[in-house]
Chains A and B, each alone.
Chain A
């Protein structure tokens, strides 16, 4: 397992279009997080799954955003009717696996999906 992967790495879309991003966590991790990072800022939490259950959503996650993790493995983040303010890097992280035989809660990040809304 090579770590958390995200697809696509870059997405350019026109305002009003829908976009969907995918995150594949480290295989044994049961927790999956989505963050958004805008230029010059630290990542901000969007939502969090434990297995297939969505446990928490940030107030940043408007009605146009939806996330799923249908089988407790990969997750998708969809943005409907994109706006220019949605332009950002969308980061996925996972945690909850074993490291040296000990359960670790450290979050490991993927490379992110950079969204540009024109």
Chain B
């Protein structure tokens, strides 16, 4: 059973609007979370991370929110750009960092 879930396989957003990608996890021991972006035929690239001691981390247009009680995190992209069109994966690990668990990904399409 997957410990990290991304229940929306795809999302379509108009350029300039906000994109919100969601991720849920089941393991309460997870305390470090990351988002990766993946273009076709390439490996994933790191986007942003957050540790469990925070509930928000911001980097330019990208903000990650963590709700530990709900075991939920989200990635906000504002404003969305066509170049943001990609598959986004969330990932989580426990304190020992040995193993990362990835969600199944959400394909974002930003329409011009």
A is bound by B? no
